Amino acid sequence: MANPKRFPIVKSKTFVTDVVTAVFPYLHEESKFGGYEVNADMLAEPELHARLGEQARVVWNQAAEEFGFDASQSPANALFREGETKDGETFTRARFKMKSTRKVKGNEVPVSPTIVDAQNNPCTEAIYGGSKVQIAYFVQYAQVNGNHYLSLKLTAVRVIELCSASGERSAGDIFGAGVDGFQSSGAAPVPAAPAAEEADTSVGYDW
């Protein structure tokens, strides 16, 4: 019997994406909205876009059957974020999110996504936009105050190709082998300011 004190929730199994380009990743630190997240460009990943929609539909139908609501209605939130960049280009993104705490035996316990390198070793380097990653996630349905929500829940990220703060690949990948000339002293650079997010015109919630 379901616990009446808990929100009605349905979760899918864990899925893993193919290699995608990370957009606005906040994986070692929380975003300004709270929690951890990484986005993926659906216009560049049409197959993933379709697959996420199919996975969400399965969870939605399961929830409708279990909790007795009309499956033909739409969720109260948008599964995909849509908007325009500062250059006026439209975008559609999937946002995979993880809250920074979870409740264990009545206590709030800090949590964070598992981040590994291509060999599955722990990765502590900052992950910048443009990095090539695989994302482990599940689809979650939640009912809150009579409203129905679907979301993509982040669990782990594997970094296949790490970009610099400028979003570029490594210098070796770009220029090839080094040549004779100037050599850096190795002094720490001034940290780059985080990129500002574009306007988000969709309605979205984190449930």
pLDDT tens, residue by residue, 52-104: 999 999 999 999 999 999 999 999 999 999 998 888 889 999 999 999 998 88
Global confidence as pTM: 0.78
Determine the pLDDT at residue 106.
86
Residue 207's pLDDT band (cuts 50, 70, 90): low
Residue of 143, 133, 142 whose CA lies nearest to 113: 133
pLDDT tens, residue by residue, 5-64: 467 999 999 999 999 999 999 999 999 989 999 999 999 999 999 999 999 999 999 999
Determine the pLDDT at residue 164.
78
- Give the integer Cα–Cα distance in Å for 24 and 81: 13
The end-to-end CA distance of the chain, in Å, is 22
Residue 169's pLDDT band (cuts 50, 70, 90): low
Phi and psi, residue 132, nearest 5°: -95, 125
Give the pLDDT mean for 191-205: 54
Determine the pLDDT at residue 123.
94
pLDDT tens, residue by residue, 96-154: 999 999 888 888 999 999 999 999 999 999 999 999 999 999 999 999 998 999 999 99
**CA 188 centroid distance within chain:** 29
Determine the pLDDT at residue 179.
72
- Give the integer Cα–Cα distance in Å for 156 and 48: 17
Determine the pLDDT at residue 33.
87
Cβ 123 vs Cβ 62: under 8 Å? no
Determine the pLDDT at residue 100.
93
Cβ 157 vs Cβ 102: under 8 Å? no
- Give the integer Cα–Cα distance in Å for 95 and 152: 7
64 Cβ contact partners less than 8 Å away, ≥ 6 residues apart: 70, 71
Residue 191's pLDDT band (cuts 50, 70, 90): low
Tell me whether residue 207 is exposed, middle or buried, using C-beta atoms within 10 angstroms of its C-beta: 0 to 12, 13 to 18, 19 or more: buried
Tokens 């994406």 belong to residue? 17
- Give the integer Cα–Cα distance in Å for 163 and 122: 17
- Give the integer Cα–Cα distance in Å for 23 and 90: 15
Partner residues linked to 104 by β-bridges: 107
Residue 2: pLDDT over 50: no
